[in-house]
Amino acid sequence: MTHSPPLQLLSAMAFSLLLTACEGNQDLGLDGGVGADAPGRDVGGIDIGALDWGFFPPADGGLPPADAGAEDDPWCPPRAERPEPTLRDRFEDGSPEISGREGPYRVIAPEGHEALVEHALAALPGCHDFLREQMGYCHPWREAIVHFGRYESRAKAEDGVVYIGRSEAMLSRLGQGSSWAEPPALCGGQSTFAHESVHTFQPANLPAWLKEGWADYIGLIMVGGSTYECGETSVCIRPPPINGRPPPEACSNVVEYWDLSDPNWSGERPDPGEEPDPDEGTQSNKGRYYKTGTCFWQSLMEVYGADALRAVQQKMHAEPRDDLPVFPFSAATNRLLIQTYFEPLLGAGVWPLIERYGISPD
């Protein structure tokens, strides 16, 4: 069987020739993406992933078998049965864009950042394999799309698509191979890349602190290498060790927990140009509730283990409900959340573990 050469092996000369041939940003229609009518580009760019699929099509003419789903696997339906993600113009400054594709995985970036596309595309399939293991089920979308753009430092996930906005200098830095850790490092060692990818796996109707806490547990701890020391009233956050040196005994980053049943977490972004509230200090309520949510998950992981939390994730995925809003959440919705998904699998002993975070059965 003939296989496509990986994108990162394409020479700079070959790419230059393609750009010359495509002068004027014309669509060559070489994208071998999902569906026979998939366009060769999406937002005015040249699909560099087409070099793989256009000139060296898979022998069977279809998508690669990875994560393809099976009829007898309830946690991994066939990809054709999953919904299409909705790609919108996010983090775009009007400049041309390029995209690369490897089977169902796709990365978009501003023109001139081909190396970033290559590195991100190389990390994306393994990152999704890792997340599938952690969540207990397949990516629920037909495609996995990551869109980088020139924008203020900001990131989000929406309708199955990850959007990461960075300055031009940061985009260039991400194009350097040294910015992406090689396997066995997870998700290229990129915390934001992993965090936002987690959100594309999660059900929509869950309290924000729950989703953000799990995404930070994956992105900052498992991928980024930070350490959370979760105490009774606060968490000490230690960054990854530098050059193997042990961290100092005194904690320089202590964050008091936020009551996860209190919806007043200052989650709304300020208007452009608005100064932050000086009374809020350096740690906003929003930052505190993210970190408290992360300790919620870590506390359960330490007691029940990964298999039990995987079962909880599967239950949330299989049994969604519309009375657990992303915002506002409350003591009542948090209580319902635990009673629905956690207590049936972990038992009543879960309540004393999470009481410090403002969640109780009463």
pLDDT tens figures, 111-147: 999 999 999 999 999 999 999 999 999 999 999 999 9
Task: Using the 3D structure, point to which of 191, 220, 249 is the last residue of a domain.
Answer: 191
Interval 208-239: pLDDT, tens: 999 999 999 999 999 999 999 999 999 999 99
Residue 82 lies in a domain: yes
d(C-alpha 105, C-alpha 128), whole Å: 10
My answer on whether 323 and 221 are in the same domain is yes
Residue 345 lies in a domain: yes
My answer on whether 239 and 184 are in the same domain is no
My answer on whether 34 and 168 are in the same domain is yes
CA angle at residue 150 from 7 to 131, to 5 degrees? Answer: 55
Least-confidence region, from 28-37, 141-150, 317-326, 348-357 = 28-37
My answer on whether 212 and 306 are in the same domain is yes
My answer on whether 137 and 42 are in the same domain is yes
How far CA 356 is from CA of 214, 238, 303, 327, 359, in Å, comes to 17, 21, 15, 21, 7
My answer on whether 153 and 291 are in the same domain is no
When divided into structural domains, the chain yields a total of 2
Q: Compute, in degrees rounded to 10, the torsion defined by CA atoms 329, 330, 333, 336.
A: 140
Residue 122 lies in a domain: yes
What residues make up the domain containing 143?
7-191
Rg (CA), the chain: 22
Residue 198 lies in a domain: no
Structure tokens at 239: 């960054």
What local confidence, expressed as pLDDT, does residue 285 receive? 77
Q: Are 99 and 33 in contact (CB under 8 A)?
A: no
My answer on whether 187 and 212 are in the same domain is no
d(C-alpha 27, C-alpha 47), whole Å: 8
Q: Is the pLDDT of residue 1 over 50?
A: no
Residue 34 lies in a domain: yes
Q: How confident is the model at residue 50 (pLDDT cuts 50, 70, 90)?
A: very low
My answer on whether 34 and 157 are in the same domain is yes
What local confidence, expressed as pLDDT, does residue 91 receive? 86
Residue 151 lies in a domain: yes
Residue 202 lies in a domain: no
My answer on whether 161 and 125 are in the same domain is yes
Q: Is the pLDDT of residue 62 over 90?
A: no
Task: Using the 3D structure, point to which of 166, 191, 216 is the last residue of a domain.
Answer: 191
Residue 271 lies in a domain: no
My answer on whether 223 and 171 are in the same domain is no
What local confidence, expressed as pLDDT, does residue 284 receive? 64
My answer on whether 171 and 224 are in the same domain is no
Task: Using the 3D structure, point to which of 157, 191, 225 is the last residue of a domain.
Answer: 191
Q: Please state the pTM of the whole predicted model.
A: 0.78
Query: Residue 164 is inside which H or E element, if any?
Result: strand 161-166
**Coil, strand or helix: which one is 71?**
coil
**Coil, strand or helix: which one is 252?**
coil
d(C-alpha 236, C-alpha 255), whole Å: 6
Mean pLDDT of 16-43: 29
